[in-house]
Amino acid sequence: FPRSFSQLHSQTQLPSFGIAFDIDGVILRDHTPIGGSPQALRKLYHHNSGALKIPYVFLTNGGGFRESKRAMQLSELLGVNISPSQVLQGHSPFKQLVNRYENELIVAVGKGEPAAVMFEYGFKNVLSIDEYASCFDDIDPLAQYKEWITKTVANQSRTFEEIGPRKSIHSERVQAAFVVSDSVDWSRDIQVLCDILRSGGLPGKEIGHQPPLYFAHDDLKYQATFPSERLGMGAFRIALESIFNRIHFNALEYTSFGKPNAFVFKNAETILKQIASSLDHEVHVVNHPDDRSHFKTLYMIGDNPSVDIKGARKAGHPWFSILTRTGVFKGKENPSDFPADLVVDTVEDAVDYILRKEC
């Protein structure tokens, strides 16, 4: 690099830029680092102390685990110290709805620990769809063919015995359903969600007003370990919506969070500012009182043109989009529907480009 990192530091300037990394298809495929991601991230820390030098966050639509747990998993996989505040997941904005549903019965859907996620956000009366379904005999007629069911229920944070006595659950109205992460059992989840939504939150009872339904994101596909993309939460939403609309007189109403919504990028900018201002507080205040108020450039590094690049483009200044070839996008040319500001092979190439330009 033309100017070294130590020079950047000795100038006592905070960087006027920050980076948002997509995870699936950029940093990881399932649990495997890709595209030189560990090396790329290491470049954002001071060599000697290991302290963070460049403000960055992970801006993923994925989830299923609390931000604190995800930060620990990522730190282990990538070999750098990642704090929970750097992990922005598709479901993270659900916490803004806590005032509305704090003590109401809600159902949380998806892989991982969807109920633990919502509980940590402050929702006090939340059941995972596994727990909820286990309170209703015969709600899933296919359950007897699903060998994993007994094991899954045994592994829940709350056991069947603990939920079992809540017989009142049958008369307690579900006030909202949250799809936190990818559904593990589409057939059971579509069945139970249709029951909840059609009956006004009381499965098995009469038709009622549809409770609100929230999705953490609407990704049709994403990149996991398998060579071609996998069906994501957006595909599950289409399946649920198509079926619901065939069996019910009102069309399904729902709200989707996550990228490419512009508010996700606004929030990432706010968090990046907070991270930047915690980097070198004292020196910064003395020498550069205004630098903290805004970034000149924020880089979004993503693999999905219709999610990451579309979102960064919609968010506008100061976002600059970089598309990698390690995930959903595998083409040669910049895609014409959502062209990125830059296309590179890997996340390491992207970070090298940024550091060459900025430092």
Binding stretches for ligand G3P (CB under 6 A):
22-25, 60-62, 182, 219, 222, 232
Look at residue 232 and give the partner it binds from ligand G3P, Mg ion, none, a contact being a CB closer than 5 to 8 Å depending on partner kind.
ligand G3P
Closest CA to 83 of 91, 93, 71: 71
Closest CA to 45 of 317, 279, 345, 214: 279
Q: How far apart (Å, rounded) are the C-alpha atoms in residues 250 and 247?
A: 9
Q: How far is the CB of 30 from ligand G3P (least distance, A)?
A: 11
Per-residue binder mask for Mg ion (CB under 5 A), 299-338, x = binder: ----xx----------------------------------
Cβ 62 to ligand G3P, closest distance in Å? 3
**Min CB(233)–ligand G3P separation in Å:** 6
The nearest distance, CB 243 to Mg ion, in angstroms, is 27
End-to-end CA distance of the chain: 8
CB of 69 to ligand G3P, least distance (A): 16
Q: In terms of C-beta density within 10 A (0-12 exposed, 13-18 middle, 19 or more buried), how is residue 103 classed?
A: exposed
C-beta of 15 vs 25, nearer to ligand G3P: 25
Q: What is the DSSP letter of 173?
A: P
Judged by CB under 5 A, the chain residues 8 through 37 that form the site for Mg ion are 22, 24-25
For ligand G3P, give the closer residue by CB, 60 or 156.
60
State the DSSP string of 24-55.
Answer: BTTTEETTEE-TTHHHHHHTTB-TTT--B-S-
Helix (H) / strand (E) containing 179: strand 176-179
- With CB under 5 to 8 Å by kind, the binding choice for 182 among ligand G3P, Mg ion, none is ligand G3P
Interface with Mg ion: number of residues (CB under 5 A): 5
Answer whether 297's CB lies under 8 Å from 323's CB.
no
Q: What residue ranges bind Mg ion (CB under 5 A)? A: 22, 24-25, 303-304
